[in-house]
Amino acid sequence: MKKILIVEDDAMLVEIYEKKLTDAGFEVRICSNGALVKEEMLAWKPDLVLLDIVLPDKDGFEVLEDVKKESEIKDMPVYVFTNLSSKEDMERATELGAAGFLTKSNLTPSQLTEEIRKILDFKTSPSLSSSSSDVKVPEATSEGVRKKPNGYKVLIIEDEEIFIEMFGEKLKQEGFEVLAAKNGKWGLKEAEKGGFNCIILDMMMPAMDGFEAIQELRSNEKTKDTPIIILSNSALDSEVKKALELGANAYHIKTRITPGELTEEVKELIKEFS
């Protein structure tokens, strides 16, 4: 089993990437402090390191300098994994020995996993793939944390199973009925059936992008007044503006909003539009 060390201090991102990579068949460890990376690499000998630049105590560039001085680990592939993607940052990281540069906002968890497979020439296990276009959110492991059904129904249109699980599970714990669809066209078919109190919509999906989906939802009598929350991997001003103009009610970067925060916004929007 290939070993991946993720150097990242954002707890939300850590949870997402650790689960996705573990499910894909990798052994994963997390290091949230730059000062501890060298020792972790020496002790664990990872096959690949994903290194954020902005870290407490010691930044990614300093970590690269430390690694470069250690003969035992200096040849381990370290890929800078950050949103700091200026030419200067890339050049500096390369000079310090980084094997590559990956931009967080450009990669979904699935895309990151595929990039890692390519880097390590790691073969996909057939048992880990899924062809279902309609994914049911798993039941909670503990019924004790669930509230009674609140009578509201939420549709999640999202192709990343990890986000369906994370956001959907929290909604279910709060008493919502949740249905998920893994592409835009399937999601619209579900929405057409009516009865949803809120729709959570990914911007980048197979078959239909988020902008098209918003237009379709707002032109349909059954969904024209249903609150729509957009989740995206990026938030360019032009994209946010377009989505809101087309009729979305809120727009978030999916790795920057917690399941709890999203659930609270769903509650507020349903209350506002009821």
Summarize pLDDT for 26-65 with one digit per residue, the tens: 999 999 999 999 999 999 999 999 999 999 999 999 999 9
User: What does the longest C-alpha to C-alpha distance in the chain come to?
Assistant: 66
Average pLDDT over residues 23-27: 95
User: Residue 85 pLDDT > 80, yes or no?
Assistant: no
Q: Given pLDDT bands bounded at 50, 70 and 90, which one contains residue 256?
A: confident
User: pLDDT averaged over the chain?
Assistant: 89
**88 lies in the same domain as 148:** no
For residue 116, give the CATH number of its domain. Answer: 3.40.50.2300
**122 lies in the same domain as 154:** no
Average pLDDT over residues 168-188: 95
Alpha helices, DSSP H, located in the chain: 11-23, 37-44, 60-69, 87-95, 109-120, 161-173, 184-192, 210-219, 237-246, 259-273
CA angle 15, 19, 102 (to 5 degrees): 75
**41 lies in the same domain as 154:** no
Range of the domain at 116: 3-127
**Which residue, 102, 127, 152, sits at the end of a domain?**
127
In whole angstroms, give the CA distance from residue 190 to residue 217: 11
What total number of domains does the chain contain?
Answer: 2
Q: What is the pLDDT of residue 123?
A: 47
**92 lies in the same domain as 119:** yes
